[in-house]
Structure 1
Amino acid sequence: MSATFSAIDVIRAKRDGRVLTDAQIDWVIDAYTRGVVADEQMAALAMAVYLNGMTAAETARWTRAMVASGERLALATDRPTVDKHSTGGVGDKITLPLAPLVAACGAAVPQLSGRGLGHTGGTLDKLESIPGFRASLSLAEISRQLDEVGAVVCAATPTLAPADRKLYALRDVTGTVESIPLIASSIMSKKIAEGADALVLDVKVGSGAFMKNYDSAHQLARALVDIGADHGLRVSALLTDMDTPLGRAVGNAVEVAEAVDVLRGGGPADVVELTVALAEEMVALAGLSADPRAVLASGAAYETWCRMIRAQGGDPDAPLPKAAHTHVVEAPADGVLTGLDAYAVGVAAWRLGAGRARKEDPVSAAAGVLCLAKPGEPVVAGQPLLELHTDRPDTVPAALAALADAVTVSDHAVDAAARPLLLTTLHSPE
């Protein structure tokens, strides 16, 4: 870096509501990555950003500096490359059927995914419930698998956006996670460094999502799309409902089983709907003419799934882990199930062992929750409503406490059309 600044001057500038210059941003991100700027100084700057925000130009430059802190993958494949990112939800196993589906449509899908934290599940945790599956791949293995299979779902390499890795951990313990500029730059720095030509974003809205209301989710989606455009990416963002869990399975192995059902032509309607909608966006951005719904029905996506799992050391035919203990939650009354709170179900699955409180915590492959009824369906008192799965029966009381107010049964159905799964779509400017 040619320019050198004082960390305290950069902190004061943002504390006082001023716009940071490109040179200030470049310096502070590089200096923090190298350890020249201390954690407590970056924590102060993150809080200043949280309180005073950043302009679109500042956010784009912040993202660019984080990308520049590491390497950018050069994906060796003749296929058009397109990726997808979800902001996280409950029962959100969409990457599992989506990556092989889009690959079967002719694209290359380099899906670098993460692990779960708190009430939201992690794609890698789910896949690692498959016997033998390996999430850590070298750059050479990623490129080879993309070329031969068309899809890879694995952990990010340590050399991608290392500034983000440091800053994310710091934000997690300093109360600065909920800053839209910092969220947007965190997501996009990793995706840009990943090297795909196009990106589709699934921005969740609702109780089980990071963004609880439509306005904040729309603001985040707009920031993500604008950053992508600034870096030459073709980007679409779908805002999707997360008041209710996606599908009927929440956990790890149970979500893999549901994803396989979708790939084999079955599965819950909402999981199929969102998988196809995202696939259609990805295929369009990749410049392909395939029809994802027809490809899914043909069985080609399931064949690609099996090849992808085998390429990463897993056995797609092996039995998935089963929980040693189950507990049924019954419907409290006759009527129609009109509410099933996604956040509460996510917390319950987490407490049963499916998630983690800290990044270093282990997870249980077999733990989770099965939603035996979904909103809009009639129920009778005593009917099994939820099935809790765990290897540790002592976790059940805490899970039940999380579910205390999760279920709403009414005398009459609510209009399902009032809560569509797909809320809106944003695109990069032409």
Structure 2
Amino acid sequence: MIPQEIIKTKRNGKALSQAEIQQFVRGLTDDSFSEGQVAALAMAIYLNGMSVDEIVTLTLAMRDSGTVLNWQGTLNGPVVDKHSTGGVGDKVTLMLAPMVAACGAYMPSIAGRGLGHTGGTVDKLETIPGYSCTQSLSKIQQLLPTLGCVIVGQSSELAPADRRLYAIRDVTATVESIPLITASILSKKLSEGLDALVMDVKIGNGAIMRTVDDASALANSIVNVANGAGVRTRALLTDMNQILGATAGNALEVIETLDYLTGKYREPRLHQVTLELGANMLILGGLHQDKASAIAALEHSLNSGKAAEIFANMVSALGGPTDLLEKPQHYLASAPVVQDIVATQSGYVSYTDTVGLGMAVVRLGGGRSHPSQQIDPAVGFSHILPAQSKVQHGDRLARVHAANADAAAIATAEYLAALTITDQAPAAMPLLHHSIG
């Protein structure tokens, strides 16, 4: 069937057959679909949607457009991963990977770079001198059995069809399509050879999905499609109406990760989200039957020092320093200008524009406005007060880390513009809204 006929079928609101979807994915990889034809079909899908069966077929075809990792006979535990839809200050993967590895699971996490206001796991790890997120699949397969976790960047060998489709979606206003988001996320994750997947779907003024209804629609789509593709999957809908943790910015978030793993400091909201996600990973992976025992195992991985040891081993194996945990300040970049951001009045803090805080990090140099842009690893915010904190006039709200005084002043103004201080304490937002699957 020629591409025009496939486009016409979806344009007219009809379901695509398995053969039509598979032909489309082949067209993405062998260029038999032009950019205009890919864009037209993406828009038709955006406008008319897809059934669960269609999305399953699209996901599996995109997964199978490249290599699919196979761990059969090489590991003595379940292969698990988590994926977040993105937020500000979300460094959970960095701490969760060694924690679940310490509990007997294996986590081969293919991570991404920052996109828009959201930070990227790869950008955070690349602030560690020598750490290489560019690894061959054979290297990943060699390291995972001994390390327990490997966090690397996306490989050209995994789901290549998704790269071309995403690039075209990015410039044709079709990024927000739930069927295409689902297939994009899952084609990459399922190529890791997973037994179980836990999704962290963010909700709020710092998330892509601002409402519970929108987040639930995406979560349901991902859970239904992943389970339909044979991977046990659950989604947790978690709050992103404020920065997650006490830092936002690449090196600052790595320092917070090290503090978390070594027990120096564990911000309560970040700790709770990490434990909830990790417990679900261990339960879906069959290592624990209930949440209480799974959380106890995760806390033991921290308190025993095993998770920190596994993280240190991963850093060293992927080219980083062997003593990062002992001397983080020796290796991680620090900004030349560090200033406190102080409250302009007394009252209770709430954050009204967490996306704006993410964009403030980008404008400081901690993110990209175009893909080739270099980032400044040292910049961002630290010592961030959580929402509902009571402050007096002049109290520190956060600390800005900047390349120069002018950048610090702009970021300070942007930070203050993204919050309100009121006489009455704001209503508490539930950290975990609900789970699906």
Instruction: Give the TM-score range, shorter chain.
Output: over 0.9
Q: Please give the secondary structure, in 1, of the residue aligned with 2:90.
A: coil
The corresponding residue for 1:425 is 435
Q: Could you say what secondary structure the match of 1:184 adopts? A: helix
**Which residue of structure 2 aligns with residue 99 of structure 1?**
97
Deviation, 1:393, is 4.3
Mapped partners of 1:248, 1:231: distance in 2: 37
Alpha-carbon distance in structure 1 between the residues aligned to 2:16 and 2:420: 48
Deviation at 1:363, TM superposition (A): 1.1
Aligned 1:87-236 pairs, distance under 5 A? 87-236=85-234
Supply the AA of the counterpart residue of 1:279: G
CA distance in 2, matches of 1:398, 1:335: 23
Asked if the contact 1:131–1:318 (Cα under 8 Å) also holds between the matched residues in 2, the reply is no
Question: For residues 333 and 89 of structure 1, do their structure 2 counterparts lie closer, same or farther at Cα, with a shift above 3 Å needed?
Answer: same
Q: Is 1:354–2:366 an aligned residue pair? A: yes
* Aligned residues of 1:247 and 1:270 also touching (Cα < 8 A): yes
Separation of aligned partners in 2, 1:28 and 1:121: 32
CA contact (8 A) 2:335 2:379 kept: yes
Which segment drifts farther, 369-378 or 23-32?
A: 369-378
Contact between 1:347 and 1:399, CA under 8 Å: does it hold in 2? no
| Preserved CA contact (<8 Å) 1:351 1:398 | no
Q: 2:348 aligns with which of 336, 343, 351?
A: 336
> Is the contact between residue 13 and residue 19 of structure 1 (CA under 8 Å) also seen in structure 2?
yes
Distance in 1 between the 2:415 and 2:275 partners?
Answer: 31
Taking structure 2 as the reference length, the TM-score comes to 0.93
Q: Which moved more, 1:362-371 or 1:345-354?
A: 362-371
Partner of 1:53: 49
Letter in 2 for 1:276: L
User: More deviation in 394-403 or 146-155?
Assistant: 394-403
Taking the aligned partners of 2:427 and 2:415, their CA distance within structure 1 comes to 24
1:46–1:395 CA distance, 2 compared to 1 (3 A): farther
Match 1:364 to one of 376, 379, 384: 376
> Contact (CA 8 Å) 2:84, 2:202: kept in 1 or not?
yes
The aligned counterpart of 1:20 is: 16
Q: How many residues align?
A: 421
Offset of residue 39 of structure 1: 0.7
Could you list the runs of 5+ residues in structure 2 that have no partner in the other structure? 289-293
Tell me, in whole angstroms, the C-alpha distance in 2 between the residues paired with 1:395 and 1:411.
31
> Take 1:353 and 1:131, find their aligned partners in 2: how far apart are those partners?
18
Instruction: Tell me how far apart the structure 2 counterparts of residues 231 and 7 of structure 1 sit (CA, whole Å).
Output: 26
Give distance in 2, aligned partners of 1:185 and 1:328: 43
312-321 or 141-150, which moves further after superposition?
A: 312-321
Classify 1:394/1:16 alpha carbon distance in 2 versus 1 (closer, same or farther; 3 Å): farther
Q: Say yes or no: does 1:390 pair with 2:402.
A: yes
**Partner SS, residue 201 of structure 1:** strand
Say if 1:40 and 1:396 are closer, same or farther in 2 by CA, change over 3 A.
Answer: farther
**Structure 2 SS opposite 1:190:** helix
Percent identity over paired residues? 43
Q: Which amino acid aligns with 1:325?
A: V
Distance of 1:339 and 1:183 partners within structure 2: 27
Residues of 1 paired with 2:402 and 2:68: CA distance? 40
TM-score for both structures, normalised by structure 1? 0.94
Task: Answer whether contact 1:130 1:318 (CA < 8 A) is retained.
Answer: no
Identify which range, 139-148 or 176-185, moves more after superposition. 139-148
Q: Which runs of 5+ in 1 are unaligned?
A: none
Alpha-carbon separation, structure 1, partners of 2:114 and 2:257: 17
Alignment partners' CA distance in 1, 2:407 and 2:51: 45
1:32-64 CA deviation, whole Å, 9 max, x = no partner? 211111111101111111111111111111111
Question: 2:255·2:328 contact (CA, 8 Å) conserved in 1?
Answer: no
Matched with 2:63 is 67
| 1:399 and 2:397 correspond | no
Q: Summarize deviations over 1:62-115 as a string: whole Å, max 9, x none.
A: 111111211101234222111111111100000011000000001111111000
Q: Which position in structure 1 is the counterpart of 2:37?
A: 41
Map of 1:278 onto structure 2: 277
The one-letter code sitting in structure 2 at the alignment partner of 1:67 is: R
Tell me which amino acid in the other structure corresponds to 1:286.
G
Return the letter of the residue paired with 1:173. V
Q: Residues 226-250 of structure 1, C-alpha deviation per residue, up to 9 Å, x if partnerless?
A: 1111111111111101011101100
TM-superposed CA distance for 1:381, in Å, is 1.5
Deviates more, 1:265-274 or 1:288-297: 288-297
- 1:300 and 2:310 matched: no
- Verify the 8 A CA contact 2:102 2:301 in the aligned structure 1: yes
Structure 2 letter corresponding to 1:268: E
Which whole-Å CA distance do the structure 1 matches of 2:404 and 2:47 have between them?
42
Cα distance change, pair 69–327 in 1 and its aligned pair in 2 (3 A): same
State the partner residue of 2:75: 77
Are 1:112 and 1:153, in contact at CA under 8 Å, matched by a contact in 2? yes
Cα distance in 2, alignment partners of residues 27 and 357 from structure 1: 34
2:337 and 2:408 in contact (8 A); partners too: no
Opposite residue 25 of structure 1, the aligned amino acid is I
Q: Secondary structure, in 3 states, of the residue corresponding to 2:165?
A: helix
Please give the secondary structure, in 1, of the residue aligned with 2:237.
strand
Q: Partners in 1 of 2:412 and 2:46 — Cα distance? A: 35
The alpha carbon displacement at 1:415 in A equals 3.7
| Counterparts of 2:177 and 2:43, CA distance in 1 | 9
Aligned mates of 1:299, 1:114 — CA distance in 2: 27
Residues 345 and 369 in structure 1, CA contact (< 8 A), matched pair in contact too: no
Secondary structure of the corresponding residue to residue 74 of structure 1:
coil
What CA distance in whole angstroms lies between the structure 2 residues aligned with 1:328 and 1:78? 49
